Amino acid sequence: MTANAPSPQLQAVAPADSLTSKAIRRFFRHKLAVFGLIVLLTLIALAIFAPFLSRHSPNDLNLRAMRQPPSMEHWLGTDGTGRDIWARILYAGRISLSVGLVAVSISMIVGGIIGSVAGFVGGKTDMLLMRLTDMVMTFPSLVVIIVVAAAMGPSVYNAMIVIGLLTWPSIARLVRSQFLTLREQQFVLAARSIGVSRRDIAFKHIFPNTVSTIAVAVTIGVASVILLEASLSFLGLGVQAPTPSWGNMLRDAQSLNILEAMPWIWLPPGIMIALAVVSINFIGDGLRDALDPRSNL
Protein backbone atom coordinates (compact mmCIF):
# COMPACT_ATOMS: atom_id res chain seq x y z
CA MET A 1 0.00 0.00 0.00
CA THR A 2 1.44 3.40 -0.95
CA ALA A 3 1.73 6.28 1.46
CA ASN A 4 -0.96 8.30 -0.33
CA ALA A 5 -3.55 5.50 -0.51
CA PRO A 6 -6.58 5.97 1.78
CA SER A 7 -6.98 3.48 4.56
CA PRO A 8 -9.68 0.80 4.31
CA GLN A 9 -11.53 2.45 7.19
CA LEU A 10 -11.72 5.75 5.31
CA GLN A 11 -12.77 3.98 2.14
CA ALA A 12 -15.62 2.28 4.03
CA VAL A 13 -16.79 5.43 5.82
CA ALA A 14 -16.60 7.90 2.93
CA PRO A 15 -19.58 6.63 0.90
CA ALA A 16 -21.86 6.62 3.96
CA ASP A 17 -20.77 10.15 4.88
CA SER A 18 -21.32 11.23 1.31
CA LEU A 19 -24.85 9.80 1.21
CA THR A 20 -25.67 11.43 4.54
CA SER A 21 -24.36 14.82 3.49
CA LYS A 22 -26.25 14.62 0.20
CA ALA A 23 -29.47 13.76 2.02
CA ILE A 24 -28.99 16.70 4.41
CA ARG A 25 -28.34 19.07 1.49
CA ARG A 26 -31.42 17.81 -0.34
CA PHE A 27 -33.53 18.32 2.77
CA PHE A 28 -32.37 21.91 3.31
CA ARG A 29 -33.01 22.72 -0.35
CA HIS A 30 -36.64 21.78 0.19
CA LYS A 31 -38.00 25.19 1.21
CA LEU A 32 -41.29 23.95 2.61
CA ALA A 33 -39.49 21.30 4.68
CA VAL A 34 -37.16 23.93 6.15
CA PHE A 35 -40.14 26.17 6.88
CA GLY A 36 -41.91 23.25 8.56
CA LEU A 37 -38.82 22.44 10.63
CA ILE A 38 -38.56 26.06 11.82
CA VAL A 39 -42.26 26.14 12.75
CA LEU A 40 -42.10 22.80 14.57
CA LEU A 41 -38.95 23.77 16.50
CA THR A 42 -40.67 27.03 17.46
CA LEU A 43 -43.72 25.15 18.77
CA ILE A 44 -41.47 22.79 20.74
CA ALA A 45 -39.51 25.74 22.19
CA LEU A 46 -42.75 27.47 23.22
CA ALA A 47 -43.89 24.30 24.98
CA ILE A 48 -40.56 23.75 26.75
CA PHE A 49 -40.17 27.33 27.94
CA ALA A 50 -43.85 27.85 28.75
CA PRO A 51 -43.20 28.78 32.43
CA PHE A 52 -40.91 31.62 31.33
CA LEU A 53 -43.17 32.91 28.54
CA SER A 54 -46.38 33.40 30.48
CA ARG A 55 -47.20 35.45 33.55
CA HIS A 56 -50.21 33.30 34.40
CA SER A 57 -50.79 29.69 35.37
CA PRO A 58 -52.78 27.72 32.80
CA ASN A 59 -55.24 26.48 35.46
CA ASP A 60 -55.79 29.64 37.54
CA LEU A 61 -59.49 30.59 37.56
CA ASN A 62 -60.57 34.23 37.56
CA LEU A 63 -64.35 34.49 37.34
CA ARG A 64 -64.09 38.29 37.19
CA ALA A 65 -62.20 38.02 33.90
CA MET A 66 -64.41 35.52 32.08
CA ARG A 67 -64.22 35.58 28.25
CA GLN A 68 -62.32 38.83 28.05
CA PRO A 69 -60.86 39.76 24.64
CA PRO A 70 -57.09 40.03 24.14
CA SER A 71 -55.45 42.76 26.20
CA MET A 72 -52.10 43.70 27.66
CA GLU A 73 -52.90 41.60 30.73
CA HIS A 74 -54.13 38.58 28.77
CA TRP A 75 -52.46 38.55 25.36
CA LEU A 76 -54.91 36.09 23.80
CA GLY A 77 -57.85 36.81 26.10
CA THR A 78 -59.47 34.47 28.60
CA ASP A 79 -61.81 31.47 28.36
CA GLY A 80 -65.17 30.73 29.97
CA THR A 81 -63.67 30.42 33.46
CA GLY A 82 -61.23 33.31 33.22
CA ARG A 83 -58.12 31.23 32.49
CA ASP A 84 -55.41 32.85 30.42
CA ILE A 85 -55.54 31.41 26.89
CA TRP A 86 -51.91 32.27 26.05
CA ALA A 87 -50.70 30.26 29.05
CA ARG A 88 -53.00 27.35 28.20
CA ILE A 89 -51.85 27.35 24.57
CA LEU A 90 -48.21 27.06 25.66
CA TYR A 91 -48.80 24.27 28.18
CA ALA A 92 -51.23 22.49 25.85
CA GLY A 93 -48.41 22.17 23.33
CA ARG A 94 -46.57 19.92 25.78
CA ILE A 95 -49.53 17.54 25.96
CA SER A 96 -50.51 17.49 22.29
CA LEU A 97 -46.96 17.06 20.98
CA SER A 98 -46.17 14.44 23.64
CA VAL A 99 -49.26 12.42 22.77
CA GLY A 100 -48.23 12.48 19.12
CA LEU A 101 -44.67 11.36 19.87
CA VAL A 102 -45.54 8.62 22.39
CA ALA A 103 -48.47 7.19 20.42
CA VAL A 104 -46.45 7.04 17.20
CA SER A 105 -43.56 5.41 19.10
CA ILE A 106 -45.94 2.67 20.29
CA SER A 107 -47.33 2.31 16.78
CA MET A 108 -43.84 2.15 15.29
CA ILE A 109 -42.66 -0.55 17.71
CA VAL A 110 -45.73 -2.77 17.22
CA GLY A 111 -45.93 -2.22 13.47
CA GLY A 112 -42.18 -2.57 13.00
CA ILE A 113 -42.02 -5.90 14.82
CA ILE A 114 -45.05 -7.38 13.04
CA GLY A 115 -44.01 -6.08 9.62
CA SER A 116 -40.39 -7.23 9.91
CA VAL A 117 -41.35 -10.71 11.12
CA ALA A 118 -43.98 -11.10 8.40
CA GLY A 119 -41.67 -9.89 5.64
CA PHE A 120 -38.58 -11.80 6.71
CA VAL A 121 -40.08 -15.13 7.79
CA GLY A 122 -42.80 -15.31 5.12
CA GLY A 123 -44.98 -18.36 4.62
CA LYS A 124 -47.77 -19.07 7.07
CA THR A 125 -46.39 -16.57 9.57
CA ASP A 126 -46.65 -13.81 6.97
CA MET A 127 -50.19 -14.86 6.05
CA LEU A 128 -51.41 -14.92 9.66
CA LEU A 129 -49.84 -11.59 10.59
CA MET A 130 -51.11 -9.87 7.46
CA ARG A 131 -54.64 -11.20 7.99
CA LEU A 132 -54.49 -9.77 11.51
CA THR A 133 -53.28 -6.48 10.05
CA ASP A 134 -56.04 -6.46 7.44
CA MET A 135 -58.62 -7.15 10.14
CA VAL A 136 -57.43 -4.21 12.24
CA MET A 137 -57.36 -1.96 9.16
CA THR A 138 -61.00 -2.74 8.34
CA PHE A 139 -62.17 -1.19 11.59
CA PRO A 140 -63.02 2.53 11.41
CA SER A 141 -60.12 3.73 13.53
CA LEU A 142 -61.72 6.83 15.00
CA VAL A 143 -64.87 4.95 16.01
CA VAL A 144 -62.87 2.12 17.60
CA ILE A 145 -60.60 4.58 19.42
CA ILE A 146 -63.65 6.43 20.76
CA VAL A 147 -65.23 3.20 22.00
CA VAL A 148 -62.04 1.91 23.62
CA ALA A 149 -61.24 5.29 25.15
CA ALA A 150 -64.75 5.45 26.62
CA ALA A 151 -64.39 1.92 28.03
CA MET A 152 -60.93 2.52 29.51
CA GLY A 153 -61.77 5.97 30.78
CA PRO A 154 -60.66 9.32 29.38
CA SER A 155 -57.10 10.36 30.21
CA VAL A 156 -53.95 11.47 28.43
CA TYR A 157 -52.21 8.14 29.07
CA ASN A 158 -55.13 6.10 27.78
CA ALA A 159 -55.25 8.32 24.70
CA MET A 160 -51.58 7.59 23.99
CA ILE A 161 -51.98 3.83 24.44
CA VAL A 162 -55.22 3.50 22.50
CA ILE A 163 -54.06 5.57 19.54
CA GLY A 164 -50.70 3.79 19.46
CA LEU A 165 -52.21 0.31 19.55
CA LEU A 166 -54.75 1.01 16.82
CA THR A 167 -52.62 2.88 14.27
CA TRP A 168 -49.82 0.35 13.67
CA PRO A 169 -51.18 -1.55 10.59
CA SER A 170 -49.97 0.99 8.02
CA ILE A 171 -46.42 0.87 9.43
CA ALA A 172 -46.54 -2.93 9.55
CA ARG A 173 -47.51 -3.18 5.90
CA LEU A 174 -44.84 -0.67 4.92
CA VAL A 175 -42.08 -2.51 6.82
CA ARG A 176 -43.22 -5.86 5.42
CA SER A 177 -43.05 -4.59 1.84
CA GLN A 178 -39.54 -3.26 2.45
CA PHE A 179 -38.40 -6.60 3.92
CA LEU A 180 -39.92 -8.54 1.03
CA THR A 181 -38.00 -6.38 -1.44
CA LEU A 182 -34.70 -6.25 0.41
CA ARG A 183 -34.43 -9.91 1.34
CA GLU A 184 -33.92 -10.76 -2.34
CA GLN A 185 -31.21 -8.16 -2.91
CA GLN A 186 -27.64 -9.18 -3.71
CA PHE A 187 -26.13 -8.00 -0.42
CA VAL A 188 -28.58 -10.21 1.53
CA LEU A 189 -27.89 -13.22 -0.69
CA ALA A 190 -24.16 -12.62 -0.24
CA ALA A 191 -24.57 -12.50 3.55
CA ARG A 192 -26.46 -15.79 3.47
CA SER A 193 -23.79 -17.41 1.32
CA ILE A 194 -21.04 -16.67 3.86
CA GLY A 195 -23.08 -18.06 6.76
CA VAL A 196 -24.41 -14.90 8.44
CA SER A 197 -27.17 -15.82 10.90
CA ARG A 198 -30.79 -15.04 10.07
CA ARG A 199 -31.03 -12.67 13.03
CA ASP A 200 -28.00 -10.66 11.89
CA ILE A 201 -29.33 -10.54 8.33
CA ALA A 202 -32.67 -9.22 9.56
CA PHE A 203 -31.40 -6.65 12.07
CA LYS A 204 -27.96 -5.69 10.71
CA HIS A 205 -28.50 -5.86 6.96
CA ILE A 206 -32.18 -5.47 6.11
CA PHE A 207 -33.72 -3.38 8.89
CA PRO A 208 -31.21 -0.47 8.65
CA ASN A 209 -32.20 -0.07 5.00
CA THR A 210 -35.85 0.42 5.99
CA VAL A 211 -35.16 3.22 8.46
CA SER A 212 -35.51 6.02 5.90
CA THR A 213 -38.92 4.80 4.78
CA ILE A 214 -40.09 4.30 8.35
CA ALA A 215 -38.86 7.79 9.30
CA VAL A 216 -41.07 9.38 6.66
CA ALA A 217 -44.10 7.30 7.71
CA VAL A 218 -43.54 8.08 11.40
CA THR A 219 -43.18 11.81 10.72
CA ILE A 220 -46.47 11.95 8.87
CA GLY A 221 -48.03 9.66 11.50
CA VAL A 222 -47.31 12.21 14.24
CA ALA A 223 -49.46 14.75 12.41
CA SER A 224 -52.33 12.25 12.14
CA VAL A 225 -52.08 11.38 15.83
CA ILE A 226 -52.20 15.05 16.85
CA LEU A 227 -55.45 15.36 14.91
CA LEU A 228 -56.80 12.17 16.51
CA GLU A 229 -55.94 13.42 19.99
CA ALA A 230 -57.63 16.74 19.22
CA SER A 231 -60.75 14.88 18.08
CA LEU A 232 -60.84 12.72 21.21
CA SER A 233 -60.27 15.67 23.52
CA PHE A 234 -62.92 17.71 21.71
CA LEU A 235 -65.38 14.87 22.33
CA GLY A 236 -64.35 14.64 25.99
CA LEU A 237 -62.60 11.28 25.65
CA GLY A 238 -59.00 12.45 25.56
CA VAL A 239 -57.07 14.81 27.81
CA GLN A 240 -59.28 15.86 30.71
CA ALA A 241 -59.66 19.26 32.37
CA PRO A 242 -58.00 21.07 33.93
CA THR A 243 -55.00 19.77 31.96
CA PRO A 244 -54.95 21.78 28.73
CA SER A 245 -54.53 20.35 25.25
CA TRP A 246 -55.25 22.01 21.94
CA GLY A 247 -58.13 19.60 21.43
CA ASN A 248 -59.96 20.15 24.69
CA MET A 249 -59.48 23.91 24.37
CA LEU A 250 -61.66 23.73 21.28
CA ARG A 251 -64.45 22.17 23.34
CA ASP A 252 -65.42 25.65 24.55
CA ALA A 253 -66.24 26.57 20.94
CA GLN A 254 -69.33 24.37 20.73
CA SER A 255 -71.58 27.35 21.27
CA LEU A 256 -72.64 29.39 18.24
CA ASN A 257 -72.32 32.57 20.30
CA ILE A 258 -68.65 31.80 21.02
CA LEU A 259 -67.96 30.91 17.40
CA GLU A 260 -69.36 34.20 16.18
CA ALA A 261 -68.53 36.69 18.92
CA MET A 262 -65.48 35.28 20.73
CA PRO A 263 -62.98 33.98 18.17
CA TRP A 264 -60.08 34.42 20.61
CA ILE A 265 -61.32 31.36 22.52
CA TRP A 266 -61.21 28.84 19.64
CA LEU A 267 -58.96 30.42 17.01
CA PRO A 268 -55.57 30.10 18.84
CA PRO A 269 -55.80 26.33 19.53
CA GLY A 270 -57.14 25.76 16.01
CA ILE A 271 -54.20 27.67 14.54
CA MET A 272 -51.71 25.74 16.69
CA ILE A 273 -53.15 22.38 15.55
CA ALA A 274 -53.02 23.53 11.92
CA LEU A 275 -49.44 24.78 12.25
CA ALA A 276 -48.26 21.56 13.91
CA VAL A 277 -49.93 19.28 11.37
CA VAL A 278 -48.87 21.28 8.30
CA SER A 279 -45.28 21.72 9.50
CA ILE A 280 -44.89 18.01 10.25
CA ASN A 281 -46.33 17.10 6.84
CA PHE A 282 -43.86 19.48 5.19
CA ILE A 283 -41.01 17.83 7.10
CA GLY A 284 -42.26 14.42 6.00
CA ASP A 285 -42.29 15.54 2.36
CA GLY A 286 -38.77 16.89 2.74
CA LEU A 287 -37.50 13.67 4.32
CA ARG A 288 -39.10 11.59 1.57
CA ASP A 289 -37.34 13.61 -1.13
CA ALA A 290 -34.06 13.89 0.79
CA LEU A 291 -33.81 10.14 1.44
CA ASP A 292 -34.68 9.25 -2.14
CA PRO A 293 -31.37 8.93 -4.05
CA ARG A 294 -33.21 9.60 -7.30
CA SER A 295 -34.30 13.03 -6.09
CA ASN A 296 -33.04 16.00 -8.08
CA LEU A 297 -33.37 18.48 -5.24
**CATH number of residue 155's parent domain:** 1.10.3720.10
In-domain check, residue 182:
yes
In this structure, the chain runs to a length of 297
In-domain check, residue 286:
no
pLDDT class for 14, splitting at 50, 70, 90? very low
Integer distance in angstroms from the first to the last C-alpha of the chain? 38
In-domain check, residue 231:
yes
pLDDT tens digits, one per residue of 239-248: 887 888 898 8
In-domain check, residue 57:
no
pLDDT class for 11, splitting at 50, 70, 90? very low
Distance CA 220, CA 1 (A): 49
262 φ/ψ angles, rounded to the nearest 5 degrees: -130, 65
Instruction: Using the predicted structure, report yes or no on whether residue 1 has a pLDDT greater than 50.
Output: no
In-domain check, residue 230:
yes
pLDDT of residue 10: 42
Q: Per residue, what are the HEC states of the chain?
A: CCCCCCCHHHHHHHHHHHHHHHHHHHHHHCHHHHHHHHHHHHHHHHHHCHHHHCCCCCCCCCHHHCCCCCCCCCCCCECCCCCEHHHHHHHHHHHHHHHHHHHHHHHHHHHHHHHHHHHHHCHHHHHHHHHHHHHHHHCCHHHHHHHHHHHHCCCHHHHHHHHHHHCCHHHHHHHHHHHHHHCCCHHHHHHHHCCCCHHHHHHHHHHHHHHHHHHHHHHHHHHHHHHHHHHHHHCCCCCCCCCCCHHHHHHHHHCHHHHHHCHHHHHHHHHHHHHHHHHHHHHHHHHHHHCCCCCCC
Distance CA 167, CA 145 (A): 10
pLDDT class for 13, splitting at 50, 70, 90? very low
Instruction: Using the predicted structure, report yes or no on whether residue 5 has a pLDDT greater than 60.
Output: no
pLDDT tens digits, one per residue of 214-236: 888 888 888 888 888 888 888 87
In-domain check, residue 254:
yes
Instruction: Using the predicted structure, report yes or no on whether residue 183 has a pLDDT greater than 90.
Output: no
In-domain check, residue 295:
no
Contact (Cβ atoms closer than 8 angstroms) between residue 190 and residue 131: no
Distance CA 235, CA 284 (A): 28
Domain, as residue range, for 226:
77-269
Number of domains in the chain: 1
> Mean pLDDT, the chain, as a whole number?
84
In-domain check, residue 21:
no
The winner for highest mean pLDDT among 90-104, 158-172, 192-206 is: 90-104
pLDDT of residue 295: 55
